[in-house]
Structure 1
Amino acid sequence: MDLSTVTPSLTSLAPIPAVAPGTWRLARVPLILAVPLLVVSPPLAIGCLLAAAITLWFHRDPRRSPPPSGVVAPADGRVSAVRREGDRVRIAVFMNVTDVHVNRAPDAGTVEAVEHTPGKHLPAFSKESERNERVQIDCGAYEVTLIAGAVARRIHPYVESGDELDRGDRIGHISFGSRADVLLPSSYDLDDVRVREGQRVHAGETVVASA
């Protein structure tokens, strides 16, 4: 029998889904605990395996195909705010627990500063979330702010000052949270915004503004 007709090649097997950095470390504990628990308590072992699976799923990092132009969404989720702040426009995206939590660069640019601000962990969709823990990534022409929420406890930026970014590059993720804002370049006005509040967007792909 020709085994090649019944045995799939390695290249034909489905690839292991990509996950955010550090995810396997989080999933390792319940996976290790599941081994002895299979003998002692199968239901607890199943619970550990389920916890590991949920951790991996929550931190999934699918491929994205950025468009050739425009400012793209920094996060998956729903647009929670479109507002003017002085001479700039801010677009906020709220991520719920089912959304991908890897964040992406809205446009090409050079990281000028990455600043972490400690704060509270209030619901990210409320006005009080302005006092929440955050990481601001200043790219000169635009800024991205990653904001923790009621469940989120860790913001993980991937970039540092001096890094060159292309549109759609990964810039960080928020473990179990919550909101990402983009402060558009000063040349953009509300008329340049291409999304509305409540609209679903995808990080690195959905154009939120174009001049």
Structure 2
Amino acid sequence: MKLHREGYLIITIGLIILIAIQVLNYYLWTIIGYWWLYALLTLGVIVMAYLIIQFFRVPKITYVEKTNEIICPADGKVVVIEEVEETEYFKDKRIQISIFMSPLNVHANFNPISGLMKYAKYHKGLFLVAWHPKSSTDNERTTFVIEHEGGKEVLFRQIAGAVARRICYYVQPGDKVKAAEEFGFIKFGSRIDLLLPLDTKIDVKIGDVVKGRITKIGELK
């Protein structure tokens, strides 16, 4: 496991603040004998430090690519599987699979397939809760399209939530990308949407807890 580079500054600032709180905690409560309160607040500081650090963790996972396989782009829970009208790029019907990421999930994002990055566009927007039906079209988001070697295209979106305030991505149109390679990061709670061809074989269902680079979402035909 490693810590993501997007977390270096936040972790450093967070730990400095928590250390200052802990020093103040010591002098406020131990001097007057409230050891139980000092212990309780110390536990709270440790928990906060853990939560900040674990948010930016990136587990080491080796992915062996399989032909036409769509691999999960993020840790989280499948909250939507439905046929929708995609209006930004394809302008036709697609199967939408939405994965909600809580603040406890790994928030690095990974390419679902290998191929040519045909499209990458950032959109300013709102910060509705990530499971809101309109978050896919109204929230701050970034849309990507990869053309697979077989010619089919897969669209996926990073979507900010009510807490997420920064979407980071590291790819541009024209890049050749590999499945399971990192393409971005979303800070503090969010959602990833996949828009797939209608004939895609789907291997997940609503409510499934999925893992980035591990769970097979489906297969292109």
Normalized against structure 2, the TM-score is what? 0.77
Residues 1:194 and 2:203 aligned together: yes
Flag the 1:194–1:25 CA change in 2: closer, same or farther, 3 A.
same
Shift of residue 149, structure 1, vs aligned partner: 0.7
Partner of 1:29: 13
What is the aligned counterpart of 2:142 among 131, 135, 139?
135
| CA offsets 1:177-198 (integer angstroms, 9 cap, x no match) | 21101122x3x525x1111111
Flag the 1:204–1:36 CA change in 2: closer, same or farther, 3 A.
closer
Shift of residue 128, structure 1, vs aligned partner: 2.8
Partner of 1:207: 216
> In 2, distance between residues paired with 1:30 and 1:87?
45
> In 2, distance between residues paired with 1:167 and 1:48?
38
**Secondary structure, aligned partner of 1:64:** coil
> In 2, distance between residues paired with 1:128 and 1:88?
16
Which has the higher mean CA deviation after the structures are superposed, 165-174 or 58-67?
58-67
> In 2, distance between residues paired with 1:200 and 1:31?
31
Flag the 1:45–1:164 CA change in 2: closer, same or farther, 3 A.
farther
| CA offsets 1:10-68 (integer angstroms, 9 cap, x no match) | xxxxxxx3122220110111323455555444368876665443221011111223343
Return 5+ residue gaps in structure 2 as ranges. Answer: 27-37, 85-91, 148-152
Return 5+ residue gaps in structure 1 as ranges. Answer: 1-16
One-letter identity of the residue aligned with 2:52:
T
Residues 1:59 and 2:56 aligned together: yes
- Kept in 2, the 8 Å contact 1:30–1:48? The answer is no
Identity of aligned residues (%): 30
Flag the 1:20–1:39 CA change in 2: closer, same or farther, 3 A.
closer
| CA offsets 1:74-110 (integer angstroms, 9 cap, x no match) | 1111111112233422211111222111111101012
Partner of 2:97: 91
- Kept in 2, the 8 Å contact 1:37–1:45? The answer is no
Residues 1:126 and 2:132 aligned together: yes
One-letter identity of the residue aligned with 2:211:
H
- Matched residues, number: 192
**Secondary structure, aligned partner of 2:167:** strand
Residues 1:168 and 2:174 aligned together: no
> In 2, distance between residues paired with 1:173 and 1:62?
14
Normalized against structure 1, the TM-score is what? 0.81
